[in-house]
Chain A
């Protein structure tokens, strides 16, 4: 996918929020949505079940305007976390320029985190993408929960961060760490562009 179009001078970044069910992916997007000035954001599309679970996916287009002469658009997606929506996840993951993995910090969710991480790797491989080459950041959400319920960022790093990618503690409901995560992901994505500079 053409991420930077130098002829039309456009940059389009697709960032996918991945992670187990109820880890707070949609919350991340909602928080961002809430902070973006009206003229900059498109309509947030959220297909949710009656119980507020993401059924299909969330899509938040951001118009960042002209940056260094490039019309810049960010497209933020979330995947449905529940195990049985793998087909949707694959679909959303297609053509992703960067991935944010939102992990649930609760100790009892560790297995779900690991399972989802493995699922992500599998889906990437299936699409012929080298998981190590994709811009990737981790977010340890729900760090605001009582400390006896959650794992510390160190412990989570140990369990999930195989490739030593940037990781962020967050409390997405209040917005802590949300933009830090997004910034790190976008920076990586944009950096990748320059490496992919044609010869």
Chain B
């Protein structure tokens, strides 16, 4: 009972023109998302314009996109017939439930509902049922719903509730396109102008048009000479005239060829003769809309004779580009000032450049990380491995991975070292401006800036940095103004994805006197703690330091020193330093023995070896004073004179 979908009637084979564009668009939408957009979709238009084609195209596209969809195509006659048959067989419920399961229901030729009250009621039930189940229904008719005689008001309102679109007769271009498409399908070729001539013949619908094409194909098959456009007119119109004398209607509307010609000329003149003016106006409009001054170009519009605008426009655009560059540079220094008029006036390019330059000079570079503290000299261990991996992570993707990175740990465990090491690495990137300083320094700078009324400049200095590293951030506690500044700086840098690193002894949330808004921001990144060095790390550090200083590390000494308790790296380094100087004073290599002596405090008092020498009774300590007996001057020439000389 259900009509088969003709595979030739697809969207691909449908020629779209002004007459059917709306209907085709709606149909595509419906086919691609059935039941959601226009439901029901009601397409109407005179016969032979492609309604059935469109209906079947919907069915096919819907089926292609979702093969599980059940698509039914029926003409109203088929629907009526099936209904009658089902009623006669007492199976009307079965038929209803079958239609109710359909996902896309396509009903052709519903204009035949006229006067069929019982079928209207049935269709109304079906439409209601499908609609409420979110299923798609598409109907076609040769007239709008309101013109279907005696149509149930409820059906009418259902149809109006969806989308009602019409299909109009194809225009000339569409007719040509249809003929081209069809003759290609038939592999028929015609001389140039033939199809245009056919399309020029007034026909009521596409079917008639295709009829004409059929006649041509047949004629060409039997004729020896190829058809010419003139031949076509004669052939087809002669028959038309014989069949139906439409001729009288034609001369009534001769096309106004002159007006057509005139508008063509007008178009060309605007486009070509004053192309420069059009181009100029377009450019002015474009840049003016972006806020740039176009005075330089506007002057040209007053010219009467054509101006070679291309070069001028290119120069203007180059200037705008330059301005943009300066503006970006300025924005980095001072957002506020980057909005000044000078950055929007291509006639003041130099001025804009200079402004950026002077601002840059005024501001001066921010404090940079110390070159002494590098990653290479930072000794890794268990105590600092989280911090190191955090630092490496931040370096891999600065500004996005761990931002901010907060290094937390007691004093002397290497926070500053790591902070500066990170700063150092970040500064290696091209165009990097890295600020690395202690909170105390920041505070002092701010105080000085407030004092000298140069807070703006001071801000600019930091706003332009690509990374900001602040050591001893806990110093900010209680310094409201500095916190305020750091807070804004933080936001500014964070939103533009610049890396922020802080170092402080406790986790931010435990620092008293630190603003909650700063605390929460600092806690939002990675808070990595560094604890006091364990024995292994201490040994490692000692070894590295001994090797650095003496070329090789004495294993016994390293073991001994590592075994000494130390709660910070700084303490360990201090210890090494003490042993080193003790060893130096004894002119020996640092050894475990020296260390032991030094640390455990048993310095054996040497017995005086000689009693022959008279001394002042003051004995210089071998550790602090005279280092070698050979260097002591035992006999002074003219000691008196010399003393006077020294005193004088």
Contact B268 A152 (CB under 8 A): no
Interface positions of A from 139 to 172, Cβ below 8 Å from B? 143-145, 147-148, 150, 152-154, 169, 171
Q: Is the interface of A mostly helix, strand, loop or mixed?
A: mixed
B266 interface hit (Cβ, 8 Å) = yes
Choose, from B80-88, B151-159, B166-174, B300-308, the stretch at the interface: B300-308
A residues in contact with B367, CB < 8 Å: none
Number of interface residues of A (CB under 8 A): 42
B residues in contact with A148, CB < 8 Å: 225
In the complex the two chains form, what is the Cα distance from A191 to B275 in whole Å? 10
B633 interface hit (Cβ, 8 Å) = no
B11 interface hit (Cβ, 8 Å) = no
* Contact partner, A6, options B191, B268, B275, B305, Cβ 8 Å: B305
Number of interface residues of B (CB under 8 A): 30
B residues in contact with A86, CB < 8 Å: none
Interface positions of B from 231 to 282, Cβ below 8 Å from A? 231, 256-258, 260-262, 264-266, 268-270, 272-276
In the complex the two chains form, what is the Cα distance from A182 to B257 in whole Å? 11
Interface positions of B from 217 to 238, Cβ below 8 Å from A? 225-226, 228-231
**Closest partner residue, chain A, to B231 (CB atom):** A147
Total contacts A-B at CB 8 Å: 96
In the complex the two chains form, what is the Cα distance from A183 to B258 in whole Å? 10
How many whole Å from B266's CB to the nearest CB in chain A?
A: 5
How many whole Å from B613's CB to the nearest CB in chain A?
A: 106
Contact A70 B273 (CB under 8 A): yes
In the complex the two chains form, what is the Cα distance from A186 to B266 in whole Å? 11
Choose, from A32-40, A42-50, A94-102, A120-128, the stretch at the interface: A32-40
A72 interface hit (Cβ, 8 Å) = yes
Assuming the contacts A153-B192, A175-B257, A190-B273, asked whether A197 and B266 have C-beta atoms less than 8 A apart, the reply is: no
B residues in contact with A186, CB < 8 Å: 261, 264-265, 268
Contact B268 A191 (CB under 8 A): yes
In the complex the two chains form, what is the Cα distance from A6 to B268 in whole Å? 16
Assuming the contacts A35-B257, A182-B261, asked whether A191 and B272 have C-beta atoms less than 8 A apart, the reply is: yes
* Contact partner, B306, options A72, A154, A197, Cβ 8 Å: A197
Interface positions of B from 266 to 324, Cβ below 8 Å from A? 266, 268-270, 272-276, 304-306, 308
B residues in contact with A131, CB < 8 Å: none
Contact B193 A198 (CB under 8 A): no
B residues in contact with A169, CB < 8 Å: 192-193, 229
In the complex the two chains form, what is the Cα distance from A9 to B268 in whole Å? 16
A residues in contact with B231, CB < 8 Å: 147
**Closest partner residue, chain B, to A182 (CB atom):** B261
In the complex the two chains form, what is the Cα distance from A45 to B276 in whole Å? 37
Contact A194 B272 (CB under 8 A): yes
Contact A64 B273 (CB under 8 A): no
A67 interface hit (Cβ, 8 Å) = yes
In the complex the two chains form, what is the Cα distance from A3 to B422 in whole Å? 73
Contact A197 B276 (CB under 8 A): yes
A residues in contact with B225, CB < 8 Å: 147-148
How many whole Å from A198's CB to the nearest CB in chain B?
A: 6
How many whole Å from B268's CB to the nearest CB in chain A?
A: 4
* Contact partner, A68, options B191, B256, B266, Cβ 8 Å: B266
Q: What are 28 A-B interface contacts by the 8 Å CB criterion?
A: A4-B273, A11-B273, A32-B258, A64-B262, A64-B265, A67-B269, A68-B274, A70-B273, A74-B265, A143-B228, A145-B230, A147-B226, A147-B231, A148-B225, A152-B228, A169-B229, A178-B257, A182-B261, A183-B260, A183-B265, A186-B264, A187-B265, A190-B272, A190-B273, A194-B273, A194-B275, A197-B275, A198-B308
